[in-house]
Structure 1
Amino acid sequence: MTFTYNERTLTLRGWADQSGIKYHTLYHRIMKSGMSFTEALEKGAEGADFAMPVSAFGETKTLHHWAVDPRAGCAVTTMRRRLAQGWDPEQAIAEEPQNRSSLGTGVPHSAFGMSMGLEDWGRHTQIPAGILRHQMDHYKLPLESALTSLGWTPQTNTPTEHDLLLITAAELRSGDHILGAEHAASGERFLTIRRPSAAPASSAAPRTPAPGRTPPTQPAPTATTPPRRTGR
């Protein structure tokens, strides 16, 4: 589900990231408490950091409200870090990150007649959002083409060409295509790979003769008697 506020449209998860309000808090306010999206968003996030007043552009607002202001160029966590580092408030609010990408920021992406944020697409397809982001960004693909290239289609009954697996380096096989790497908290390195699906074993089925034809009969084996040797 997507929502528009101050002419910006994001998924609910995108607004949670942008504002600092927990996703489940926003969801509960809208779906359980009956608030409108605007009411749920403007109620703000919990915590003293988000209620901190910040003066910029001739106004004073809480940090949370600056994060959903149309002049905001980054998410609330980035604003808070910049202000803690001593940035000018207007610059901390408005400047976009150097490596900013629209992918994964809650901007809805459409494919196969559906529209949702990249994280939600990752949950829906069981393909990590980081892999989708890499496929789209590196190869300049729209989401639908990226999903298709990774072997995913909405027809769940149609077998996909490849399987995505999370494995250790020791489990890597010949033919595996590495899509990404990550480190667990234990320090162990895991690889996300695309592995060609194994071809199903074919069992030999008995051949059926064409209609109207009699299958050839094999001659029954006959015992052979060695020739008698005649004396001379």
Structure 2
Amino acid sequence: MATHVIYYEALSLSDVLLSTSVTPNSLRLLLNGGGTISATGCITQFYFYCVSTVSELFLLTAMAYDRYLAICSPLHYVSITGFRLCLYMSLCSWGLALIISLVMNLLTFNLQFCGPFVIDHYFCDFAPLLKLSCTDYKAVELTDIILGIPFTLLPFCFIIYTYVSIGLAILRISSTEGRHKAFSTCSSHLIVVCMYYGTLIIVYMVPSKGHNFNIKKILSLLYTIGTPFSNPIVYSLRNKEIKNALWKYIVT
């Protein structure tokens, strides 16, 4: 629907910001076998990375609510949703992302880094930056946990609730065609949520011991490079013309 365009544009902006802040420098490091980045550049990259990551979390939550209304309350969908609500939720997602990222960025910027100035990662992530600090960073970690629970865990729980409700609503549909149509409405969003949240949970909630950190660096590629690359493809498959063109290409 027309209101979905707002979410897609906001999500595209988040993907572009993530790709432009991480991917170019990562490719340079891979091609040159390493490289250098200034402290200011590293903190700046970390800020834009946080903004794009957090905004995508909120946007995926808003899109889950939109699909919940479309399937579980179809008669009230038009009266509840609209251009204003979609715009408001998109702006709130970006506003919260900017504020949360600014808080974390300022706390990280105030840490003292005494060396060695080597980041064991392909971009300036939170954990590798803390490892370089020679001051006590428990307050920064505590702030990250305090902000992470309401602004990451709660949206994830809300998405799970919406999809449980959507699944129950789809099972109550009598016709096979109706079930297929309802499922296709949220299938693309569900794929992106599983891929995005799945990698984030493994990277940031599973303890880094032994080879786990190297595995996490590989998994980080999924949501920093893989997700922005796959999002346009996944959501484009909802378009019938693109589906037909892709099917003709596969058959021929």
TM bucket normalised to smaller: under 0.3
Q: TM-score, normalised by structure 2?
A: 0.22
Q: Structure with the greater relative contact order (CA < 8 A, sep ≥ 6): 1 or 2? A: 2
Give 1 or 2: higher strand fraction: 1
**Structure of higher CA gyration radius:** 1
